[in-house]
Structure 1
Amino acid sequence: MGTPDDYCELHSHTNFSFLDGATHPEELIARAAQLGLPAVAITDHAGLYAAVRAWKAAHETETDAAREAGLSPVRPIIGLEITIPRSDDELRLARRGRKLNDPLRGAKASRGWPGEHHAGPIPGDHLVLLARDVDGYTALSRLASHGHLAGEKQFPVFERSLVQAALDDARGHLIGLSGCRNGHVPRLLLAGERDAALAVARDWAQHFGDGDFAVELSHHLQPDDDWLVAQLAELAETTGLPTVVTNEVHYADPDGHRLQDILVSIRHGAALEEACELLLPNAEYRLKTGAELARIGESLPDERSRSAWE
């Protein structure tokens, strides 16, 4: 993650990740300026909806008034997070606009960790994409449009072949992250399929420029986070892929945790007290400083994990 002072958050959701993110783009940028983060990536689900508002808010952090208030300038990084159906069955469900709390993905299908079902309206593997430049922004806009046109209202469809072709066309202009626990690589590791995870990581890397696909490391104090970070660090070392640390932000500060719980409960049509595994497990999915994340890295029990976290 470089030095703590250089840390930039590369995976964050605003309220434009409808009923998932709990913070307005302006609030997220303002909080980043208070914390001294030099840059924040806005990676809402399936679209660039917050890009303009985030860009305007970031511009305000460069004013004399902001400097006098002790705020640091923040550079916005534009990106998105897409969900790619894992199978023909999931592709058919996605095209019909099936929701994530369908019987196919109900409690009996859980992988057993809190928050499994929070992450989006359709089943599939998550992939985070960031624009390097204007050409990258154009590529993301085009990809998002194709996804929405392929699906039903509110339920875009990002077929794997479509995504890979778009990445090939935009090689050198996009950066990819392997994603959260719902990413293809982490999901396979959680299922004990290490060889498959290695193959998938190498395959995705082929669709990006050299060094432009990174293994994403996050730690939210869940019981198996030490293990998962160690597995991802070993995979990165084996494949020669870089690592990046993110906090998979869903709200600007800890107070947003309860609001995010309510939003997710609404999305699933569940009472808050009955939502259980639909919810994120704690208030750790907030915007954090590099120093906070560095302390987490220092506490990791595995040397390879600590090295990959740096």
Structure 2
Amino acid sequence: MSTAVLPNYAELRCVSNFSFLRGASKPEELVERAQALGYSALALVDECSMAGIVRAHVAAKKHGLKLLVGSQFQVQCDTPFTLVVLATNLNGYGNLCEFITHLRRSSPKGTYRLELEGVVADALHDCLAIAVPERACGQAQMDAMARWLLQRFLGRCWLGVEQLRRLDDEMLLHKLRQSSELTAVPLVAVGDVRMHLRSR
């Protein structure tokens, strides 16, 4: 398939095999595939980890692909959601690394726990945030999630839209649009990429 007719697309939610039991592909494979598909950028956001970033960075330089550095976290609340955090510069990278270290140190080895009150406004300065709701999230819960996001990441936050060809895609999109209109938090497409090829 020719990539010349595809619009510019940056994948903002991709995990590698450094996200245990979630990602199936190596960072290098994901970068190579993103470049082959004509993506303008790829965000590697392994769960509460930066473990795959070095390999992804080397591969991105080799293939001429812009790499966005970040991580994602499961936020524990009435309706859990995923918080994707992307560093915008070196200071943001340092803040994100400190945030991960704090979460890991305050939990049993190999785990972490993030609750709503665990994210303070200044902890992730120079970072962007995308909240991706669980598919079962109700409208009131989604609105509350958007307000929470706005309070902590004003002017640098989005609601993540996943269209994974499931029966409830349209309903999920409708609820996200309602929350976006109510709170003025814009929508952004995310793919929840876990492998570079379906066969993996």
TM-score under structure 2 length normalisation: 0.90
Against the structure 1 CA distance between its residues 125 and 195, is the aligned structure 2 distance closer, same or farther, given a 3 Å change threshold?
closer
**2:181 corresponds to which letter in structure 1?**
E
1:84: Cα distance to partner? Answer: 2.4
Distance 2:13 2:114 in 1: 19
Deviations, residues 167-216 of structure 1 (Å, cap 9, x unaligned)? 42433x111111152xxxx5432xxxx23321331122111141x11011
Distance 2:40 2:176 in 1: 26
**1:168 corresponds to which letter in structure 2?**
D
* 8 Å CA contact retained: 1:44, 1:81: yes
Partner secondary structure for residue 47 of structure 1: coil
Which residue, out of 36, 54, 57, partners 1:52? 54
* 8 Å CA contact retained: 2:96, 2:124: no
* 8 Å CA contact retained: 1:43, 1:78: yes
* 8 Å CA contact retained: 2:99, 2:123: no
1:134: Cα distance to partner? Answer: 0.9
Distance 2:175 2:58 in 1: 39
* 8 Å CA contact retained: 2:14, 2:43: yes
Matches within 5 A, 1:32-51: 32-51=34-53
In terms of fraction of residues, the more helix-rich structure is 1
Partner residue of 1:128? 84
Partner residue of 2:137? 188
In terms of fraction of residues, the more strand-rich structure is 2
Give 5+ residue unaligned stretches, structure 1: 62-72, 88-122, 257-310
* Structure 1 range deviating more: 140-149 or 224-233: 224-233
Partner secondary structure for residue 196 of structure 2: coil
* 8 Å CA contact retained: 2:142, 2:175: no
Partner residue of 2:65? 74
Distance 2:150 2:23 in 1: 28
1:158: Cα distance to partner? Answer: 2.3
Distance 2:136 2:93 in 1: 28
1:85: Cα distance to partner? Answer: 2.4
**2:114 corresponds to which letter in structure 1?**
F
Distance 1:174 1:187 in 2: 27
* 8 Å CA contact retained: 1:42, 1:51: yes
Identity of aligned residues (%): 27
Partner secondary structure for residue 181 of structure 2: helix
1:17: Cα distance to partner? Answer: 0.4
Against the structure 1 CA distance between its residues 234 and 85, is the aligned structure 2 distance closer, same or farther, given a 3 Å change threshold?
closer
Partner residue of 1:176? 129
Distance 1:217 1:19 in 2: 23
1:124: Cα distance to partner? Answer: 4.5
Partner residue of 2:151? 206
Distance 1:223 1:195 in 2: 21
Alignment RMSD? 1.9
Partner residue of 1:117? none
Matches within 5 A, 1:92-241: 124-162=80-118, 164-165=119-120, 167-171=121-125, 173-181=126-134, 187-189=136-138, 194-210=139-155, 212-241=156-185
Partner secondary structure for residue 113 of structure 2: coil
Distance 1:31 1:223 in 2: 27
Runs of 4+ with deviation above 6 angstroms: none
Deviations, residues 238-267 of structure 1 (Å, cap 9, x unaligned)? 2111111111101112112xxxxxxxxxxx
Say yes or no: does 1:255 pair with 2:193: no
Distance 1:199 1:223 in 2: 24
TM-score under structure 1 length normalisation: 0.60
Partner secondary structure for residue 109 of structure 2: coil
Distance 1:201 1:225 in 2: 19
* 8 Å CA contact retained: 1:46, 1:81: yes
Partner residue of 1:24? 26
Distance 1:18 1:199 in 2: 30
1:4: Cα distance to partner? Answer: 4.6
